[in-house]
Structure 1
Amino acid sequence: MSADTRDLFERYHACWEARDPDRIAELHTVDSVFHLHSGQGPTQGRAAVREAAAGTFALVPDLTFELVSLRVGEDFWVVQWKLTGTSATGAAVDVDLADFVLVENGAVKEKHSYVDGVAMQAATAPAEVA
């Protein structure tokens, strides 16, 4: 395990827990790719990463992360999370997420997030009017 990569993981995760899109973007390379694999394409660059993170926090303002599993190598980490919170629509969020992250020169080069799309869609869908 690379201590430098593990340290980056810890700092990066702290930014997500703090819900700080500016600090998240700062830990990415200038040309970084962020791809939430849930139907939309990847974003590229720090500004797009910041926007994607801010969008996540707008969708689930009280988002919390429970670490399920973590593997760290010299230039990557793979982590499994249980995400919980309350969506902006008021529904409970309880979804599984897996991240595959590539590291380059001490920064996040690529982040691929794989989410339980059915559970996330159900939690973020507008409430039905009876």
Structure 2
Amino acid sequence: MKRLKNFVMAIAFVLAVPTQSVVAQSPPTGELQPLVQRYAEAWASRDAGRIVALHSADSTFRLFIDGAAPAKGQEAIRQQFQKILTDNPTYRSTVRSLSLGSDNVVIEYDIHMDPPRAFTFGASRYVPNGRAYLLPAIDVIYFRDGLVTAKHTYLDATVIRHNSRSASRVRQ
């Protein structure tokens, strides 16, 4: 238990922000921990290229928020991650819980939001109210052969709206 707590604390400054099943050829849970740690460190670096380097060529990313399209392949994923990091340049997160499976990890965390300007998430454009806030999120991340094959991120859009001066629909 202490070892898991130390692991969770080690990645507490990290992770951010998908729906496909993955063929099992994944490492046992004990081997998954270092992969999750490397992925957490990549997010902490705020370098979209470094993050995507840990994704397989056929990886998918799905941000579950109204109007967000899935990203398929490394370049599409890199573009979405870069947008997330650009819109929230002080991006960091705090892990609340972490559960390792045989080929996946489920992470509950809070994203520390302090966007300096208006941003678009999915089908909505938000104008920040100037105050920092925490955005609850859950990631389900699948691994195969040492790489991320799918990342599903679930966010609470009501928290974003509540912490915005305005929110408007940008597309249907």
Equivalent residue number for residue 55 of structure 2: 28
Give the distance between the partners of 2:82 and 2:103, measured in 1 at CA.
26
SS in 1 for 2:50: helix
Identify if the C-alpha distance between structure 1 residues 3 and 64 changes in structure 2 by more than 3 Å, giving closer, same or farther. Answer: same
Q: Give the ranges of 4+ consecutive aligned residues of structure 1 lying more than 3 Å apart after TM superposition.
A: 121-127
- 1:1-130 → structure 2 map (5 Å cutoff): 2-39=29-66, 40-89=68-117, 90-123=130-163
Give the distance between the partners of 1:50 and 1:11, measured in 2 at CA.
17
Identify if the C-alpha distance between structure 1 residues 51 and 91 changes in structure 2 by more than 3 Å, giving closer, same or farther. Answer: farther
1:92-130 Cα distance to aligned partner (Å, 9 max, x none) = 231100001111111100000001111124446669xxx
SS in 1 for 2:63: strand
Aligned-residue CA RMSD in angstroms?
Answer: 1.8
Whether the 8 Å CA contact 2:137–2:153 is kept in 1: the answer is yes
Q: For the pair shown, which has the larger CA radius of gyration, 1 or 2?
A: 2
Which letter maps to 1:101? I
SS in 2 for 1:62: coil
Structure 1 unaligned segments of length 5 or more: list them: none
Q: TM-score, normalised by structure 1?
A: 0.89
Q: Greater RCO between the two (CA within 8 Å, min separation 6)?
A: 2
Which letter maps to 1:56? I
Q: TM-score, normalised by structure 2?
A: 0.68
Q: CA deviation at 1:25?
A: 0.5
Structure 2 unaligned segments of length 5 or more: list them: 1-27, 118-129, 168-172
Whether the 8 Å CA contact 1:29–1:107 is kept in 2: the answer is yes
Which letter maps to 2:61? F
Whether the 8 Å CA contact 1:35–1:111 is kept in 2: the answer is yes
Whether the 8 Å CA contact 2:56–2:74 is kept in 1: the answer is yes
Give the distance between the partners of 2:152 and 2:161, measured in 1 at CA.
18
Which letter maps to 1:8? L
Identify if the C-alpha distance between structure 1 residues 81 and 121 changes in structure 2 by more than 3 Å, giving closer, same or farther. Answer: same
